[in-house]
Structure 1
């Protein structure tokens, strides 16, 4: 999917990506939206998740309730759509790496396998690792303004 030209873009997949970004990040944070999109793409490329964007976003209990059915407001939706297209075409947040998971930055998780890589857009992003390989067990301070505009 990464590197697809606009002519091969499937609108449903783009809409699913925009919905995940819109409902899962602080809608004013481009970095947060790009990071959420990267998690979606990391999952698409993983054998442990569905192999389409819509399949990943619509998985039960993985994204915000109503992510596929709620209405996006006209004020914030265009930014999510532009960010979704950018991720679809290959943009990646430089700090996400292989992260396939995130939770609200305010949530206090107590698992010992969460290796945090980024906090942005109101979310803390992490990789699941063996406990002995976790070097960052707590969310990092929030970072914004890294992705291109």
Structure 2
């Protein structure tokens, strides 16, 4: 009887711990999303984190806790950036994914582009063409490959923390190497990385 009671007690403790963890998860996600919002504001203002002590860098586990299944609504900086990295470059190497993240951050706060990551990603959805085709191609935006999404989220974390070197040299546009697009002739090619070719307007200095 004593053994049975002990087993029941342990089971109840485990269940209570699981319930507390489940209740805490939304709070952790909300706090992480708030932290990411501060970071994207500093990125839009082109302010380094060294000059912004109130902007606390995102931790690895914090970022992975946001949109863990890749099915959440696109309404926070981490999810919007991670999904864009995933859908634009999930089939490529890490350098491809990092370069896509740099383009999003380069656009953030730049003249002609919005001041939040989600608005940058969704720009053009109200009128054709979309800036990022995956966002309005009519297909499901839910993640299909968990391992690649985990990589995308870690790259998003580094980008929002301003820890990601900009290998694109300030690019604001890119396209797949296999494509030949007329609009690219109006811009300066800054870099070729993996599957992509990157560009910037002629009146913006290289970084």
Does the residue aligned with 2:170 lie in a helix, a strand or coil? coil
The alpha-carbon distance between structure 1 residues 93 and 27, as it changes in their structure 2 partners (threshold 3 A), is farther
Bigger helix share: 2
Higher mean C-alpha deviation, range 54-63 or range 106-115: 106-115
* Structure 2: unaligned runs, 5 residues or longer: 1-38, 44-48, 50-54, 67-75
Contact 1:104 1:122 in 2 (8 A): yes
The alpha-carbon distance between structure 1 residues 58 and 94, as it changes in their structure 2 partners (threshold 3 A), is closer
Mapped partners of 1:47, 1:128: distance in 2:
11
| Greater length-normalized contact order (CA 8 Å, ≥ 6 residues apart) | 1
Residue 116 (structure 2) aligned to one of 52, 57, 74: 52
Does the residue aligned with 1:66 lie in a helix, a strand or coil? helix
Contact 2:135 2:141 in 1 (8 A): yes
Note the C-alpha offset of 1:15.
Answer: 1.0
Mapped partners of 1:126, 1:45: distance in 2:
17
Mapped partners of 1:78, 1:100: distance in 2:
25
TM-score normalised by structure 1 residue count: 0.74
Does the residue aligned with 2:87 lie in a helix, a strand or coil? helix
Q: How many residues are aligned here?
A: 130
Contact 1:31 1:93 in 2 (8 A): no
- 2:105 is equivalent to residue 41 of structure 1: yes
* Structure 1: unaligned runs, 5 residues or longer: 134-149
Q: Which structure's CA Rg is the greater one? A: 2
Bigger strand share: 1
The alpha-carbon distance between structure 1 residues 114 and 22, as it changes in their structure 2 partners (threshold 3 A), is same
RMSD between aligned alpha carbons? 2.6
Match of 1:63 in 2: 132
TM-score normalised by structure 2 residue count: 0.55
